[in-house]
Amino acid sequence: MAAETLAELTGVGKTFPGVVALEGVDFSVRAGEIRALMGENGAGKSTLIKVLTGVYRPDCGSMLIAGRPAAPRSPAEAQALGVSTVYQELNLPPNLSVAECISLGDEERTFGFIRRRAMEKRAQRALARLGLDVDVRRPVGGLSAALQQLTAIARALDRQAKLLILDEPTSSLDQREAAELLALLRRLRGEGLGIILVTHFLDQVYDAATSITVMRNGRKAGDWTVEDLPKRALVSQMLGREMDSISDRRAPEIGDAPPAFTVEGLARKWTMGEVSFQIRRGETVGLSGLLGSGRTETLQMIFGAKPADRGQIAWAGGSSRIKSPRQAVRLGLGLCPEDRRAEGIFPGLSVRQNILIILQAKRGFFRLLDQASAREAVSRSVAELRIKTSDPGQPIEGLSGGNQQKAILARWLSSNPKLMLLDEPTRGIDIGSREEICRKIGELNQAGMSVVASSSELEEIVALSHRVVVLRDRRQAGEVSGETLSEPALMTLMAEGEA
C-alpha cells in the first residue's frame, strides 16, 4: 500500500496520577483507510484519540501528522493540521444555525462583519458533499441526532480535514440512520479521507472498517486488516483472554430451586431490545456482553430506573412492569449501580447515613430508626462486609472505592431484598474488596437471595454465576448454564449471537 500516511504515532505514552493510560503505543492511519479502534473501558482508546487531537500532550513518543513531526497543543491546532474529531456527545451549540455551526471559528468576514450569505452558501456546499439538502438557517438543536452528527462531519470536511475521527458516531442513531452513516464513511474513504472509527457495535466494524487496532490496558494489542481478524478473535483480543482458557471457580449447584422472578420480554424503545430470563431462588444470573451491549440498560429496566415500555416481571403471586425505583424497592428489589459516584454514594453524608438510607426509606417518613438500633445495624453491616472505616460518622468520601462499594451493598442488604441487581459490582476496586464482594454474593445465594450481576470480566462472571445471559448490540444473544457455561462459550455468543 502506497497511500499517504496521515498520522503516525510511535512509542506514545501518557500517565495520569496513579494510572498509566498509554504505554508504548504505535499507531498509524493512511489515506483511504477506515481504521476501527477497539477496546473495553479503560483500554486507552479515548486517551489515544485525545493525544492525536491535542487535548492531551503525550509524556513520551513521537508523532507525525501528514509526514511532518507535529505536537498539537489544542484541538484547534490539530484541526489546522487536518485532524478533525466528531465526538459521541454532539457538542454543537444547539442555538446556532446549521450554517453558523459549520463555519464557527472560521467565518466569512468583510471588515470584521460576518457575510451571512457567503456563510450559508458555504454550509450548503459542505452539506451537499454529504448528499444532504438541509435548510442551513435552522437551529442545529432542532435537527435529529443523525442530522446533527452529519452537520458535525460536514463541519470537519469544511475544515479540509484529511483525517476524520468518529467517536461512537452511531450510538444515538437508529439502525437505518447508522447504515446510512456507514455508507457515507465508505464513500468518504473512497475520496481519500482517512477515518478512525471508535464504536462498540461489532457488526458496524465489519460493515465499514478496513483495518482494526485493538487496545487493551493502555497498550496496543495489535493491528489487523478486517479479513485477518474474525469476530471471535476480535472479542478475545479485546478481552485479552484466549478462547480456550478455563477458569476453575464455579458457583455451587443449587438443584431445582423454583423460579423466584421471571423477566418476560422487557424492552425499551431506542434503548434495549427484548430480554427474557428466569432467576431462581438462591441463584446468581450473570449478565455478560461487551461494552455497550446493554448490561446496564437491562438492569435499569428491571429496576424501573429507565422503565421498560414492553414486557413485565413475574414472581410467585404477581407480575408487573416496574415503573420506578420506588416501586422496585417496595417489591423487594435492590440495585447497586455501575457508576458509584454519580448514582450510588451520597457525598457529604456519613458512612452511617449512607448505609441507613434504604432501611429508613423502607420504614417510611415517620418511623425514624432510633439511635441505638441504627448504630447497631451499621456496626453489624460494617463487620459483616468488613468495611474499613475508623468511624462510621465520617463522610463516605473518606473511604476507598472498594469500601464505598461495600457500603452501598450494605445499604441494600440491611433491608434484606429478595432480588439484588449488581451492575459491575467489582469495577475499579482493589483485589481484596473484589474477593470479599464475590464471597458475599455466594453467601447471599446460600441464604436464598437471588442475584443478577453484570460484569465485563468473563472469569468473574463464570465464577459467580449459575447461569449467564449474554447480550450483544443491545439484544439478548443467548443464555448459557450448567456444564456448557465457560468463557469460550460466552465469547462465541458475545461475538456472533445464537448460531
Partner 1 sequence: MKRGWPPYGFALVGLGLILLFNAVASPGFLALEIRDGQVFGSLIDILNRAAPVVLVSLGMTLVIAAGGVDLSVGSSMAIASAAAGVLLAPPPGAPFDPVSSAPLVVLAALAAAGLCGALNGILVGWVGMQPIVATLALMVAGRGVAQLITQGQIIVIDSPEFEALGTGSAAGLPTPVVLAGVCLAALILAVRRTAWGLFTEAVGSNPRAAQLAGLPVRGIKMAAYTVCGLAAGLAGSIACADIQAADANNTGLYLELDAILAVSIGGGLLTGGRFSLAGAAVGAVLMQALTTTLLSRGVPPPIALSAKAGLIIAVVLFQSLAFRQAIARRRAASA
Which residues in this chain contact partner 1 in the complex, by CB under 8 A? 303, 305, 325-326, 328-330, 335, 337, 342-349, 353, 356-358, 360-368, 411
- Side-chain-facing half-sphere of 362: CA atoms under 13 Å: 18
Q: Which of 111, 366 has the CB closer to partner 1?
A: 366
Nearest to 52 by CA among 264, 251, 213, 185: 213
- The one-letter code for the residue type at 486 is S
How far is the C-alpha of 316 from the C-alpha of 323, rounded, in Å?
Answer: 19
Q: How far is the CB of 404 from partner 1 (least distance, A)?
A: 12
Q: How far is the CB of 487 from partner 1 (least distance, A)?
A: 31
Q: How far is the CB of 343 from partner 1 (least distance, A)?
A: 5
Q: Which of 376, 397 has the CB closer to partner 1?
A: 397
**Residue 48 contacts residue 34 (beta carbons within 8 Å):** no
Nearest to 34 by CA among 160, 211, 152, 167: 211
Q: Which of 138, 326 has the CB closer to partner 1?
A: 326
**Residue 222 contacts residue 59 (beta carbons within 8 Å):** no
How far is the C-alpha of 443 from the C-alpha of 174, rounded, in Å?
Answer: 42
How many Å is the maximal CA-CA distance in the chain? 82
**Residue 449 contacts residue 420 (beta carbons within 8 Å):** yes
List, in order, residues 6 or more apart from 368 with CB less than 8 Å away.
360
- What value does the CA radius of gyration of the chain take, rounded to a whole number of Å? 25
Q: How far is the CB of 325 from partner 1 (least distance, A)?
A: 5
Q: How far is the CB of 320 from partner 1 (least distance, A)?
A: 15
Q: Which of 3, 368 has the CB closer to partner 1?
A: 368
Q: Which of 329, 490 has the CB closer to partner 1?
A: 329
Q: Which residues partner with 25 through β-bridges? A: 12
**Residue 254 contacts residue 448 (beta carbons within 8 Å):** no
Q: Which of 226, 421 has the CB closer to partner 1?
A: 421
Q: Which of 101, 378 has the CB closer to partner 1?
A: 378
Q: How far is the CB of 303 from partner 1 (least distance, A)?
A: 8
* C-alpha cell recorded at residue 6: 496521515
Q: Which residues partner with 8 through β-bridges? A: 28, 64
Q: Which of 356, 458 has the CB closer to partner 1?
A: 356
Q: How far is the CB of 460 from partner 1 (least distance, A)?
A: 23
How many CB atoms are located within 10 Å of the residue 144 CB? 12
Q: How far is the CB of 133 from partner 1 (least distance, A)?
A: 36
How far is the C-alpha of 404 from the C-alpha of 239, rounded, in Å?
Answer: 27
